[in-house]
């Protein structure tokens, strides 16, 4: 019943996972694993780092060097790991609250530093693990346990935040558009610099049920499909048409900027040569 990739990379004795039926997290994880397999990365040199929340449990399920850190701080740990050993491929998985609320500062600074990490945000617009509280990406007007009258605040657009902060690879995919997600993650891992992949995904139990999508996983996925628009199409839409829609695709892929660990390595050689 397991695919070759599942048998190769999953810690099967840790299943079933804590993720609810219909949760999109498993789809994103599968995409990450297919990509690592396709890229033929040495699993001994892959480190997966997470923060806290439903997304935070991802590393526990995969057979790499895995680190489940504190809420919001995964990128700071990953920065230390990558600088300490640039040979490692470091993949950081975070939730929307994890990356853009409590971890917002680490997020923008990792983007600015252009350190070679791949940050994948499982963006389901809600705090799932703690029971459905409002998150920094909860859409205006959507309901959450701590927004019982609807969200009054304007949400973050994580991809635009990453672009503004200087990330050199920025993309948005969804857990509905799976082949596209595979490709976005592949390019993100291959990119030498800070890659951000904002992945729109479902939380049927804590977002769907409160927002007229029911707890049905397929219905929630269809909702994700309905709000996603290819970037090229989105750019041709007027402001009215854009309301409630999210462009998906690659927003930036810039190889011209220096990557931090490479710059550092070169500098260290110079400093040592000069004594």
Partner 1 sequence: MAKKLLSGNEAIGKGALEAGLQFYGGYPITPSSDIAEYIARELPKYGGIFIQMEDEIGSAGSIIGASLAGKKSMTATSGPGISLMQEHIGFAAMVEAPTVFVDIMRGGPSTGLPTFPSQGDLLQAKWGTHGDHEIIVLYPNSVTECFYQTVRAFNLAEKYRTPVIILSDEIIGHMREMVDLPEKVEVINRRMPEVKPDKFKPYDTNFGDVPPMPPYGSGYRYHTTGLVHDETGFPTHNPKKSQALISRLVNKIRKNRDDIVEVDFEYMDDAEIGIFALGPVARSALEAVEELRNNGVKAGLIRPKVVFPFCDKELMESSKNLKKLYVFEMNMGQIVNEVERVIGREKIEWHGKSNGEIITPDEIEEYIMGRK
Q: State the nearest-atom distance from the C-beta of 165 to partner 1, in Å.
A: 11
225/269 with CB nearer partner 1: 269
Residues 31-50 that bind partner 1 (CB under 8 A): 43-45, 47, 49
Q: State the nearest-atom distance from the C-beta of 64 to partner 1, in Å.
A: 6
Q: How many helices (H) and strands (E) does the chain have?
A: 11, 10
242/267 with CB nearer partner 1: 267
Residues 6+ apart with CB under 8 A from 138: 125, 126, 144, 147, 151, 155
Residues 91-150 that bind partner 1 (CB under 8 A): 105-106, 108-109
- 3-class DSSP state for residue 95? strand
- Contact between 266 and partner 1 per CB under 8 A: no
28/88 with CB nearer partner 1: 88
Query: Residue 173, class by beta-carbon neighbours within 10 Å (0-12 exposed, 13-18 middle, 19+ buried)?
Result: buried
Cα 89 from Cα 239, distance rounded (Å): 40
Q: State the nearest-atom distance from the C-beta of 240 to partner 1, in Å.
A: 38
Q: State the nearest-atom distance from the C-beta of 233 to partner 1, in Å.
A: 36
When binding is defined by CB under 8 A, the residue of 14, 38, 233, 242 that contacts partner 1 is: 14
- Contact between 267 and partner 1 per CB under 8 A: yes
Contact map string, positions 59 to 98, toward partner 1, x by CB under 8 A:
xx--xxxxxxxx--x-xxxxxxx-xxx-xx----------
Q: State the nearest-atom distance from the C-beta of 209 to partner 1, in Å.
A: 27
Centroid of chain to Cα 180: 14
Residues 199-238 that bind partner 1 (CB under 8 A): none
45/233 with CB nearer partner 1: 45
- 3-class DSSP state for residue 275? coil
- Please say whether the beta carbons of 92 and 167 come within 8 A: no
Cα 204 from Cα 207, distance rounded (Å): 6
- Please say whether the beta carbons of 204 and 214 come within 8 A: yes
- Please say whether the beta carbons of 273 and 267 come within 8 A: no
Residues 6+ apart with CB under 8 A from 205: 20, 22, 23, 128, 132, 215
Residues 161-200 that bind partner 1 (CB under 8 A): none
Q: Which structure tokens are listed for 204?
A: 């049927």
212/266 with CB nearer partner 1: 266
When binding is defined by CB under 8 A, the residue of 41, 178, 252, 264 that contacts partner 1 is: 264
Q: Which structure tokens are listed for 199?
A: 């992945």
Q: Which structure tokens are listed for 142?
A: 């959507």
Q: State the nearest-atom distance from the C-beta of 195 to partner 1, in Å.
A: 18
Which residues bind to partner 1, rule: CB under 8 A? 14, 43-45, 47, 49, 59-60, 63-70, 73, 75-81, 83-85, 87-88, 105-106, 108-109, 264, 267-268, 271-272, 275
């Amino acid at each position: 019943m397991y695919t070759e990739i599942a048998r190769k990379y999953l810690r099967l004795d840790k299943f079933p996972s804590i993720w609810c039926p219909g949760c999109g997290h498993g789809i994103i994880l599968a995409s990450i694993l297919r990509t690592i397999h396709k890229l033929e990365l040495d699993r001994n040199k892959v480190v997966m780092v997470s923060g806290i929340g439903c997304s935070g449990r991802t590393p526990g399920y995969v057979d790499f060097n895995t680190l489940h850190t504190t809420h919001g701080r995964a990128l700071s740990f990953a920065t230390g790991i990558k600088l300490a050993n640039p040979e490692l491929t470091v993949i950081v998985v975070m939730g929307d609250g994890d990356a853009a609320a409590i971890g917002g500062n680490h997020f923008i600074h990792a983007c600015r530093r252009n350190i070679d990490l791949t940050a994948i945000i499982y963006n389901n617009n809600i705090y799932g693990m703690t029971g459905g509280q409002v998150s920094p990406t909860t859409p205006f007007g959507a309901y959450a346990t701590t927004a019982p009258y609807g969200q009054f605040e304007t949400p973050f657009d994580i991809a635009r935040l990453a672009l503004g902060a200087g990330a050199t690879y920025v993309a948005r995919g969804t857990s509905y558009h799976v082949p596209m997600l595979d490709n976005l993650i592949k390019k993100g891992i291959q990119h030498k610099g800070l890659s951000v992949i904002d992945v729109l995904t479902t939380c049927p139990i804590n977002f769907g049920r409160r927002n007229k999508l029911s707890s049905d996983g397929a219905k929630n996925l269809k909702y994700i499909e309905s709000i996603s628009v290819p970037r090229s199409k989105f750019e041709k839409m007027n402001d009215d048409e854009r309301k409630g829609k999210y462009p998906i695709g690659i927003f930036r892929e810039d190889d011209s900027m220096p990557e931090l660990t490479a710059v550092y390595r070169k500098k260290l050689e110079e400093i040592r040569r000069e004594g």
